[in-house]
Amino acid sequence: MKSIPDWDLVVAGAGPAGCALAAKVAQRGAKVLLLESRSRPGEGREWIVDVEKTAFDAAAVPRPVTEALWEEPEKTVIVSPSREHVVELPPTPLVPVRNGEYVRQLASWAVGSGARLRTGARVTAPVMDGGAVAGVTVSAGGVAERITASITADCTGIAGVLRKDTPAGWRLSDPVRASDTVLARREIRSVDRDEAERAVKEGKLVDRLRTDRTGAHGAYSVESVYLDVEGGFADILVGIKPSPDLPTADERFARVLKEMGFVREKLFGDGGPIPIRRPLDALAGDGLVVLGDSACQVIPISGSGTASALIAADIASRTIGRALGEGRGDRQALWEYCREFQSGRGALLTYYDVLRNFTDSLGSSDIEWLIARGVMTAEEVTSGLVPRVFRPRPAAMVQKVLRGYRRPRLLLGFAGAGLNAQRVKGRFSRYPERYSEKELESWARALPGYS
């Protein structure tokens, strides 16, 4: 006789995806356990994340309260590697959110919705039973424990603690290669107001202007600074792809601090690796769903994953609710989550992953030239932040060709990448409606020039 699981749903990882999923499934009357390895949700996540303003309504989750919001820049500019050329962005479609504070808000929402939150419990592996995930093993206070569930959710971030131990045929266990990650650090630092004001007067920085210097250390690199003299802080972000020939994000961050002599102690912030590849081919197995960074649901161009995680949680909660109502947790019952996410948000993320792979071939001099000649414009940059498919006007395309004709290799490369991105997006839009190992394999092989 089969034993009754301890829980309907166990969620491993109390980040944005895990908290939102736990809240939504608990609201449906399910018995939900939310596990967090730290002493409280949001701990070790105390950085600023830029989230699409429309994401909260789209995912049907609470908007960040005042404590979880951060100051929006009055203006944002993209600066070329040499700092000689500038592109001014339109009003930002993003809102800066204090990630740790917002995670704690979502965790309180989950508890208020009926989920049980357990902290200090580190998930170590999935419990397998008859070829399906049947829960998790955790380590708490040095003691191992087995917790069973009808359905389990892996929201453990880039580590993918549960998915990495699943059968290869599930297409969930793919490792995240170093080439598909970015190392990032973002901190809010106090400043010496007098020295900061002096730097502004000397023209070294502009007060309340966010400056994103791109491409200084390869195409996928950014150094972002936002100074608020009156507020007494500087918001500093460094992102760089790992390479033996380049400094790490922490090393480059230290150099930026040294260049800004008016910066003082850290108020809050953190850093670490972010997956920037397309989403996993599948997002569910028997008894398991995968969400957030663990599923690589990140905008590849910007490295932002909060909006995608919340949207994934909304879709997954509806699928899980139906599956539990039918007394099921098999992959077929969970497949609607895969299909709905992949054919919608996943298609957009993959579109930009194709473009990201192309830009990896560009050097700093290429980025400099594209900005200087007006080939890279505010429209392209903004579309990658939202994200939305970039659809230039015919007149704008003619202008780009006229401005960039001296470097046909770049123009042809962008054109080819754009066409391939559209083809791959179309393929994702036709994601298999029902699970079939053969059909999934066929779908993955047919991704044009991008398997």
One domain, residues 138 and 187: no
One domain, residues 209 and 312: no
pLDDT tops 50 at residue 243: yes
pLDDT at 415: 83
Backbone angles phi, psi at 148, to 5 degrees: -100, 155
What is the residue range of 294's domain?
7-69+98-174+279-344
> Does residue 65 lie in a domain region?
yes
Query: Per-residue pLDDT averaged across 282-288, rounded?
Result: 98
Cis peptide leading into residue 279 (ω within 30°): no
pLDDT in tens, 287-300: 999 999 999 999 99
One domain, residues 13 and 159: yes
Single-letter amino acid, residue 368: E
Helix (H, G, I), strand (E, B) or coil at 357: helix
Report the alpha-carbon distance of residue 346 to residue 445 in Å, rounded.
17
Query: Measuring CA to CA, how many Å separate 293 from each of 154, 156, 159, 275, 309?
Result: 10, 8, 8, 7, 8
pLDDT at 451: 46
Domain end marker among 234, 254, 275: 275
pLDDT tops 50 at residue 1: no
One domain, residues 195 and 293: no
One domain, residues 104 and 17: yes
pLDDT at 405: 62
pLDDT in tens, 367-411: 998 888 888 888 888 888 888 887 766 666 656 665 666 777 887
- Can you read off the two tokens belonging to residue 306? 């909060």
pLDDT band, very low/low/confident/very high, at 2 (cuts 50, 70, 90): low
Domain end marker among 275, 300, 333: 275
Report the alpha-carbon distance of residue 96 to residue 52 in Å, rounded.
9
Please tell me whether the overall predicted TM-score, pTM, comes out greater than 0.85 for this model.
yes
Total number of domains in the chain: 2
Query: Measuring CA to CA, how many Å separate 158 from each of 182, 250, 389?
Result: 11, 19, 26
pLDDT in tens, 91-136: 888 999 999 999 999 999 999 999 999 999 999 999 999 999 999 9
One domain, residues 209 and 270: yes
Single-letter amino acid, residue 430: R
> Does residue 165 lie in a domain region?
yes
pLDDT in tens, 126-183: 999 999 999 999 998 889 999 999 999 999 999 999 999 999 999 999 999 999 999 9
pLDDT at 298: 97
pLDDT in tens, 322-362: 999 999 999 999 999 999 999 999 999 999 999 999 888 88
pLDDT tops 60 at residue 25: yes
> Does residue 34 lie in a domain region?
yes
Rg (the chain; Cα; Å): 22
pLDDT in tens, 34-43: 999 999 999 9
| Whether 149 contacts 165, CB under 8 Å | no
Find, among 183, 208, 231, 233, the residue nearest to 72 by Cα.
Answer: 208
Single-letter amino acid, residue 304: S
One domain, residues 237 and 122: no
One domain, residues 120 and 169: yes
One domain, residues 250 and 225: yes
Q: What is the CATH number of the domain that holds 137?
A: 3.50.50.60
With b meaning 16 or more CB within 10 Å and e meaning fewer, what string describes 59-97? bebeebeeebebebbeebbbbbbeeebebebeebbbbbb
One domain, residues 231 and 288: no
One domain, residues 154 and 25: yes
One domain, residues 261 and 163: no
Partners of 182 in beta bridges: 274
User: What's the N-to-C CA distance of the chain in angstroms?
Assistant: 43
